Amino acid sequence: MEISFVGGVYKENCAWPANYEVLGSLGRAALCVVQLDSSTKVELISSFSNEEMVELKERFVGREVSVTNYEQPTTYLFSYDHPLSEPVVEPKLTNETEVQKLELDGFDGKQVVMFGMIEKDVKIKCKSVIYDPQNSASPKLFSANGSLADELIYVLNRDELGKYYVESNGAEEYDIERMASWLLDKEGASAVIVKCGARGAFVFTAKEGGKWLCSYRAKKVSPIGSGDSFVAAFAHYYFVRRFDAFKSANLASVATSFYVEHSMMVSDKQLAQYQVNLVANSLENESSKKNIYLVGPFFNMGQMWLINQCKIAIEKFGMEVFSPYHELGIGPAEVVAQADIKAIDECDVLYALFDDHDPGTLFEIGYAIKAGKKVVIYTEQNNDEHLKMFEGTGCEIIRDFATSIYTLSWM
């Protein structure tokens, strides 16, 4: 079996926890596929600086891989402060009118995994394609430049689907099932798979209609590249194992759980063993958003920055946030204390930043425990002795930022 991968190879640097890789969506997805089945041959078609060629190929040592590179002077760098932050892209993104067109020939009978690219607008004609637009800000339809496929499957996130719908219809739509059905009809696709984070994925096919699939919890979450691993696993199960879209998407969720926990992929036989102990997330009712009380000190620049990053991350996961810093600021005790206590009484989960041992944070954690609230404590610097009382009263203690935010969404 051979699968062709078309998309971007990028440099990715995360400041905390520190990690640097030359993969991008294309390299990561192709690597995941050969890790799932070492007999699969992969062909990579991309556009990056040849300076990264050696480092990229080192990741595929011992695998059957070929690389076609439409070389450009610089490989784009994505820099993250942390895994849930918005990356800074260097050099600055090219104006859409300056993006180079690239028409690929000789793919008529091939199975292709295709990602949207920063540097190229790729036109292709192929037998079967799994297409991920890879652009939540301004996603491009597969057919927009005249690309054709006998079989077209979309794998995209909810934001991208929403952007497609608004651009074509001039109005927002919040029903994912309706939007997925619309995209399938508009593009003549055979299936549309919508990734919805902790809620799972919605799969809509031309023959069998739609179905929600759950996501699976991981003990630790390193989310950079999680979407790429999902696409890769779906391609493996759909193209190589010949499963239908529903089974392929469900197993892709299992594979993604493994990937974010271990930052690598393994064979599908090993994944079957991993799946035995997985905990599935039940579907959330979108009309009822989880209410998070965000507590932590905000008395210097570093503390304020972390509070802001937490609020942004929690809201991106679709949860409501009450933050004393944002809602009240530094005010008189008789105002702040009563307002904070009321907000704790009304919250679903209290999320605490604990490293600085702030007295107000300690009080709010204790009050929440006594009130019977769920509590998640994010800490990197405390030893077990400092955390004994919190662990003993049922608090979730997480030592990794991204994992702590995912844990909130799973509770």
Asked if residue 139 and residue 218 are part of one domain, the reply reads yes
Residue 361 lies in a domain: yes
Asked if residue 379 and residue 340 are part of one domain, the reply reads yes
Asked if residue 236 and residue 297 are part of one domain, the reply reads no
CA dihedral 26, 27, 33, 34 (to 10 degrees): 150
Q: Would you state the pLDDT for residue 282?
A: 72
Asked if residue 312 and residue 264 are part of one domain, the reply reads no
Asked if residue 306 and residue 254 are part of one domain, the reply reads no
Residue 237 lies in a domain: yes
Q: Would you state the pLDDT for residue 224?
A: 97
Asked if residue 219 and residue 301 are part of one domain, the reply reads no
Residue 388 lies in a domain: yes
Q: What's the CATH number where 88 sits? A: 3.40.1190.20
State whether residue 182 is helix, strand or coil: helix
Which of 275, 308, 340 marks a domain boundary? 275
Asked if residue 59 and residue 8 are part of one domain, the reply reads yes
Q: Would you state the pLDDT for residue 249?
A: 98
Q: Would you state the pLDDT for residue 283?
A: 61
Which of 222, 242, 275 marks a domain boundary? 275
Amino acid 331 reads G
- With 0-12 / 13-18 / 19 or more C-beta atoms within 10 angstroms meaning exposed / middle / buried, residue 129 is buried
Residue 43 lies in a domain: yes
Q: For 274-289, how does the pLDDT look when each residue is reduced to its tens digit (9 = 90+)? A: 999 999 987 655 556 8
The DSSP letter of residue 280 is B
Asked if residue 297 and residue 204 are part of one domain, the reply reads no
Name residues of the chain where pLDDT drops below 50: none
Asked if residue 56 and residue 172 are part of one domain, the reply reads yes
Residue 128 lies in a domain: yes
- With 0-12 / 13-18 / 19 or more C-beta atoms within 10 angstroms meaning exposed / middle / buried, residue 370 is exposed
Which of 251, 275, 299 marks a domain boundary? 275
Asked if residue 350 and residue 309 are part of one domain, the reply reads yes
Q: Would you state the pLDDT for residue 286?
A: 54
Asked if residue 176 and residue 84 are part of one domain, the reply reads yes
Alpha carbons 236 and 269: distance in angstroms, whole number: 13
Transcribe 44-94 into DSSP letters.
Answer: EEE---GGGHHHHHHTTTTS-EEEEE---S---EEEESSTTSPPEEESPPP
Number of domains in the chain: 2
Q: Tokens for 227?
A: 């979407």
Q: What's the CATH number where 390 sits? A: 3.40.50.450
* Domain span holding position 87: 2-275
Residue 285 lies in a domain: no
Residue 282 lies in a domain: no
Q: Would you state the pLDDT for residue 223?
A: 96
Contact in structure between 187 and 180 (CB atoms under 8 Å): no
The DSSP letter of residue 96 is G
Q: Taking all residues of the chain, what is their mean pLDDT, rounded to a whole number?
A: 95
Asked if residue 91 and residue 225 are part of one domain, the reply reads yes
Residue 280 lies in a domain: no
Alpha carbons 282 and 150: distance in angstroms, whole number: 35
Q: Would you state the pLDDT for residue 330?
A: 83
